[in-house]
């Protein structure tokens, strides 16, 4: 149901060509690696071969003397400043438990020492000359091992602490604990006709951006440190590098050029402290690029979860009680541990009406690769549990799974106690849902997927059996009251504008989307915008690209900045026309009077204001913080074919509907939905971390399977518009929610094909076959 305002949009809600598409398609210098000076030193890191060990001795003297080596860094020659690598607002809701280099290693792939040399070959040779003696400690590889009384303490350093008053008990390997209850869960269970108690497990995964982590630092002639890096969080990067190096923020400039994907793994300050330190020590530009194997092993990952979900439902379909208990494995360092587990409840539980909701979220350390921010951020994991159990409940009461959800999902204008109870590390923000076209998403998706032809599994025969499954989803848009974005916009002689935003385009096209918003507000065209983003010296502040914020938060800052500039344009235009500002308006890059008989172009106004009279720079600036986090909504449908002899599952068709409010750029919204969905599909079916003694063994695309053009099933994205009053031109967000759907939708489809329920994924053939064999007719 399209809002009437949407039909008047001239720039937004149009699929304007992405501003940087041409330069990228031509292969022009765009990414960090393309911009490195020829004389940049190459940085290489020595990684820990042990999952848990103390470094008893470390001798770099031989390495330092090797040909081409300019500097070696290790815990003995760098500042010991405890910090957190997570790209979050300050003070971070995460433990400060990381040092640039420590005298302890906590996972296979932890930092030991680093070399900067003239060539990669020389750097690698020098690594081999570093002599390390370890005292191997007992490792912790599972949640049960981490939680066991007397478990090895992974973070026993005295400096480890949390900067805000949140639960943190490193002696118990506990990184976070957050809980809340609305109503009475026990009471709700008593009122139920059917109760359920299921445990689910979700796996490790890596984001696999095609551009691996890459960072470069150089010393400017002024002596300042210039970091050019593939990051989602330039401003957090600047602050955290300043802290880690023990230098003032003023000394550092962070620039984000084009980057080759992030999906959350680059919401982390993982390389920049080391390259900056090397630049300072050597005076030379320093480039560090993780190779693909290092990206898998030492980069950030998706938090594995163990989820216990208990629910109660009445025969009439009322959900009387929900208890969601989530425990995540945050790996060797605690960044994002709390916020991911908070979101697993905060961004999922409001979806369905229930008066009795209990949530408990915990995060534990293990000696395994580190969990970070990954698209979906806890909601992905929790929705697997919730949406699998929803189907289970529907079947118990004999109701169609779609109908069961239609009965129970949140409606426009409704709220949930969870919104206030669960934020990201702090309490949340109470909210009623404004825009919500979930009901329409469900119907359109069902139609596109052929839901009415769905048959029960009990009648299915033959080796290859088909099934149809679905799920409903929500997410959030920005972190209210905590995150801030800002923008400024100034006019040029030809009626073009420089739009300066802190907001971070990771390939998502936010530069384009923000330009469209500015152009719409300013009554001009998107091609008049020159966008420059994510440079801590040149652009106003923005927290960066995460929490599905850029359109909803940064977009509103841009709109307000454009409105600010527009006021100045109107004033000057009026002055030029000899009229009062209230008697003129903007239209098609002109200021004109009511009947259009008098008008002056933006270009005229610019020339006048820059050169001719009462000269000043027309420039608008604004900041924005959001007051709510309006959820996007989605309904996903998956059709699968299961080979009941081998357990192989093939996705035949997938429909992703999405309510993102106004789609500022419909093609880009589809692109986000299609890409995130396919990522979710391989997460559900083929991606996994295989470990041996804590070492990730399948660290290449040959062994860690993501889909190619030959594997991909058809994915249909359907935009179902609504209008979010609090968002710029009605927009909410689009980028995370779509990855949440495939695991539960495919799981439910496998059930519909075979009667087999799986409580963990990836749905590898061995697990599927075992589950099929366990089915009792």
Partner 1 sequence: MKAATNSVSFTLNGEKKTFATSPDEKLLDLLRREGYRGTKYGCGQGTCGACTVIMDGRAVYACLLYAMQAEGRKVRTIESAGTFEKPNEFQKELIDAGAVQCGYCIPGIVMSATALMETEKDFSDEIAREYMDGNLCRCTGYEKIWIALRRTLDRKAAADAKPAAEKTTKRSSSKGAK
Partner 2 sequence: MKLCEFIRPEKLSDARNALRKLGPKGMPLAGGTALHFMNTKTPGTAVDITRLGLSYIRQEAGAFVIGAATPLSDIQRYRSPRWSMHEICRRISTHQIRNVSTIGGNICRVFPWADLPVVLLAMNARMMIYTGKKKEDEVGADDFFASQPARRFAGGDLLTAVKIPFLKANHGFGSVKAARNAAAFSLVTVAALLELKDGRIQAARVAAGSAIPFPKRLRSVEAALIGNEAIPEVFRAAAAKATEDAKWCKQEGMSAEYIKDLAEVSLVDALERAAEFARGRTK
698 binds partner 1 (CB under 8 A): no
- Verify binding: residue 705, partner 2, rule CB under 8 A: yes
Between 275 and 571, name the residue whose CB sits nearer to partner 1: 275
Taking CB under 8 A as the rule, does residue 18 contact partner 1? Answer: yes
Residue 772's H or E segment, with its range, is helix 765-773
Which region, judged by CB under 8 A, interacts with partner 2, from 141-149, 211-219, 492-500, 706-714? 706-714
Q: Residue 474: how many CB atoms within 10 A of its CB?
A: 25
User: Which range touches partner 2 (CB under 8 A), out of 293-301, 420-428, 477-485, 761-769?
Assistant: 761-769
Contact assessment for residue 744 and residue 737, using Cβ atoms and an 8 Å cutoff: no
Minimum separation from the CB atom of position 38 to partner 1 (A): 8
Q: How far is the CB of 289 from partner 1 (least distance, A)?
A: 7
Structure tokens at 548: 């599905």
Q: Is 204:694 a contact under the CB 8 Å cutoff?
A: no
| Residues 489-518 interacting with partner 1 (rule: CB under 8 A) | 506-509
Which of these ranges, 225-233, 296-304, 481-489, 695-703, lies near partner 2 under the rule CB under 8 A? 695-703
Task: DSSP for 143-181, please give it.
Answer: HHHHHSTTPPPS---TT-B-SSS---BGGGTEEEEEEEE
Please identify which residue in 707, 716, 757, 775 interacts with partner 2, judged by CB under 8 A.
707
Q: Which does 260 bind (CB under 5 to 8 A by kind): partner 1, partner 2, none?
A: partner 1
CA-nearest of 293, 371, 294 to 114 is 294
Nearer to partner 2 by C-beta: 535 or 711?
711
Cα 726 to Cα 324: distance, rounded to the nearest angstrom: 30
473 contacts: CB under 8 Å, gap ≥ 6: 351, 379, 383, 387, 633, 634, 635, 636, 737, 740, 741
> Residue 75 and residue 66: Cα distance in Å, rounded?
20
Asked if residue 30 binds partner 1 (CB under 8 A), the reply is yes
Considering the rule CB under 8 A, would residue 711 count as an interface residue with partner 2? yes
> Pick from 2, 5, 8, 17: which binds partner 1 (CB under 8 A)?
17
Residue 381 in tokens = 């994991």
Nearest to 448 by CA among 594, 598, 635, 620: 635
Instruction: Name the minimum Å distance from CB 299 to partner 2.
Output: 21
β-pair type (715-719, 649-659): parallel
Q: Does 527 bind partner 1 (CB under 8 A)?
A: no
Q: Which stretch binds partner 1 (CB under 8 A): 49-57, 280-288, 387-395, 676-684?
A: 676-684
Kind plus residue range of the DSSP H or E element containing 182: strand 174-182
For the chain, report the end-to-end CA distance as a whole number of angstroms: 43
Kindly indicate which of the ranges 18-26, 357-365, 404-412, 567-575 contains the residues binding partner 1, using the contact rule CB under 8 A. 18-26
Q: How far is CA 739 from CA 208, 305, 475, 634, 768, in A?
A: 14, 16, 10, 11, 22
With respect to partner 1, which residue has the nearer C-beta, 17 or 693?
17
With contacts defined by CB under 8 A, how many residues of the chain interact with partner 1? 59
The span from the CA of 328 to the CA of 465, in Å, is: 34
Of residues 217, 287, 678, 771, which one binds partner 1 by CB under 8 A?
A: 678
For residue 698, give the nearest of 260, 204, 365 by alpha carbon. Answer: 204
Q: Helix, strand, or coil here: 547? A: coil
Q: Which SS3 state, helix, strand or coil, does residue 400 take?
A: coil
| Candidates 156-164, 252-260, 430-438, 611-619; binding stretch for partner 1 (CB under 8 A) | 252-260
Closer residue to partner 1 (CB): 43 or 307:
43
Q: Which is nearer to partner 1, 27 or 248 (CB)?
A: 27
* Calpha distance 410→351 (Å, rounded): 5
Could you say whether residue 398 binds partner 1 (CB under 8 A)?
Answer: no
Distance CA 496, CA 505 (A): 21
Comparing CA positions, the residue from 310, 137, 170, 270 lying closest to residue 693 is 137
Residues in the chain: 777
Q: Which does 645 bind (CB under 5 to 8 A by kind): partner 2, partner 1, none?
A: partner 2
| Least distance from partner 2 to the Cβ atom of residue 291, Å | 13
- Closest contact distance (angstroms) between CB of 710 and partner 2 is 4
Rounded to the nearest whole angstrom, what is the least distance from the CB of residue 664 to partner 1 in the complex?
Answer: 13
Nearer to partner 1, 36 or 55 (CB): 36
Of positions 28, 645, 693, 714, contacts partner 2 by CB under 8 A: 645
**Which option in partner 1, partner 2, none does residue 119 bind, with CB closer than 5 to 8 A by kind?**
partner 1
Q: Which residues bind partner 1 (CB under 8 A)?
A: 15, 17-18, 20-22, 24-31, 33-34, 119, 121-122, 207-212, 258-261, 263, 289, 291-293, 506-509, 667-668, 670-671, 674-679, 700-702, 706-710, 712, 715, 717
Q: Which residues bind partner 2 (CB under 8 A)?
A: 645-648, 686, 688, 690, 698, 702-703, 705, 707-708, 710-711, 764-766, 769-770
């Amino acid at each position: 149901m399209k809002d009437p305002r949407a039909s008047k949009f001239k720039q937004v809600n149009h699929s304007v060509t992405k501003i940087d598409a041409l330069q990228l398609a031509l292969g022009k210098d765009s990414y960090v690696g393309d911009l490195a000076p020829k004389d940049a030193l190459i940085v290489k890191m020595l990684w820990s071969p042990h999952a848990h060990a103390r470094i008893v001795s470390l001798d770099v003297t031989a390495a330092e003397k090797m040909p081409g080596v300019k500097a070696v860094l290790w815990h003995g020659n760098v500042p010991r400043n405890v910090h957190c690598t997570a790209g979050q607002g300050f003070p971070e809701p995460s433990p400060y438990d990381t040092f640039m280099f420590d005298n302890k290693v906590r996972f296979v792939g932890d930092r030991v020492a680093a070399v900067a040399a003239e060539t990669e070959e020389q750097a690698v040779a020098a690594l081999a000359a570093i002599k390390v003696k370890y005292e191997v400690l007992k490792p912790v590889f599972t949640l049960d091992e981490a939680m066991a009384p007397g478990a090895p303490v992974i973070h026993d350093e005295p400096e480890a602490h949390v900067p805000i008053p949140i639960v943190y008990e490193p002696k118990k390997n506990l990184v976070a604990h957050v809980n809340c209850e609305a109503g009475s869960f026990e009471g709700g269970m008593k009122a139920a006709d059917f109760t359920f108690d299921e445990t689910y497990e979700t796996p490790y995964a890596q984001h696999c951006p095609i551009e691996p982590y890459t960072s470069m630092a150089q010393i400017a002639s002024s002596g300042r440190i210039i970091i050019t890096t593939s990051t989602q969080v330039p401003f957090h990067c600047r602050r955290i590098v300043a802290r880690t190096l023990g230098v003032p923020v003023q000394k550092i400039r962070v620039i984000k050029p084009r980057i080759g994907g992030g999906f959350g793994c680059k919401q982390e300050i993982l390389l920049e402290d080391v390259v900056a330190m090397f630049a300072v020590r050597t005076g030379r530009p320093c480039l560090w690029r993780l190779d693909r194997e290092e990206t898998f092993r030492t980069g950030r990952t998706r938090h594995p979860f163990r989820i216990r979900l208990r629910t109660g439902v009445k025969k009439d379909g009322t959900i009387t009680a929900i208890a969601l208990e989530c425990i995540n494995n945050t790996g060797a360092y605690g960044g994002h541990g709390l916020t991911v587990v908070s979101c697993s409840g905060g961004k999922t539980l409001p979806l369905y009406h229930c008066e009795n909701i209990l949530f408990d979220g915990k995060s534990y350390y293990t000696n395994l690769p580190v969990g970070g921010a990954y698209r979906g951020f806890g909601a992905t994991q929790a929705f697997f549990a919730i949406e699998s159990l929803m189907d289970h409940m529907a079947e118990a009461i004999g109701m169609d799974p779609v109908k069961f959800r239609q009965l129970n999902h949140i409606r426009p204008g409704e709220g949930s106690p969870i919104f206030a109870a669960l934020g990201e590390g702090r309490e949340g923000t109470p909210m009623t849902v404004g825009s919500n076209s979930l009901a329409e998403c469900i119907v359109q998706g069902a139609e596109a997927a052929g839901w009415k032809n769905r048959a029960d599994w009990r009648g299915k025969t033959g080796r290859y059996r088909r099934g149809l499954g679905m799920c409903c989803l929500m997410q959030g848009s920005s972190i209210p009251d905590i995150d801030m974005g800002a923008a400024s916009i100034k006019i040029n002689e030809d009626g073009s504008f420089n739009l300066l935003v802190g907001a971070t385009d990771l390939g998502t096209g936010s530069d384009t989307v923000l330009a469209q918003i500015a152009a719409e507000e300013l009554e001009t065209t998107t091609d008049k915008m020159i966008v420059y983003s994510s440079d801590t010296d040149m652009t106003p502040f923005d927290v960066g690209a995460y929490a599905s914020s850029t359109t909803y938060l940064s977009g509103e800052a841009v709109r307000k900045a454009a409105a600010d500039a527009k006021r100045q344009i109107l004033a000057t235009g009026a002055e030029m026309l000899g009229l009062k500002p209230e008697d003129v308006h903007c239209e098609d890059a002109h200021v004109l009077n009511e009947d259009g008989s008098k008008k002056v172009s933006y270009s005229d106004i610019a020339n006048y204001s820059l050169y001719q009279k009462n000269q000043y720079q027309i420039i608008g600036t604004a900041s924005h913080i959001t007051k709510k986090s309006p959820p996007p909504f989605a309904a996903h449908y998956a059709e699968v074919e299961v080979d009941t002899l081998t357990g192989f599952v093939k996705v035949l068709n997938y429909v992703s509907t999405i309510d993102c409010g106004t789609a500022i750029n419909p093609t880009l919204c589809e692109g986000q939905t299609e890409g995130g969905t396919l990522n979710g599909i391989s997460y559900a079916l083929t991606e996994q971390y295989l470990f041996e003694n804590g070492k990730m063994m399948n660290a290449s695309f040959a062994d860690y399977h993501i889909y190619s053009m030959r594997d991909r099933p058809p994915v249909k994205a359907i935009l179902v518009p609504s209008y979010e009053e609090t968002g710029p031109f009605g927009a909410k967000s689009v980028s995370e929610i779509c990855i949440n759907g495939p695991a539960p939708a495919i799981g439910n489809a496998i059930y519909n094909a075979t009667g087999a329920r799986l409580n963990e994924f990836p749905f590898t053939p061995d697990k599927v076959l075992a589950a099929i064999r366990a089915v009792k007719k």
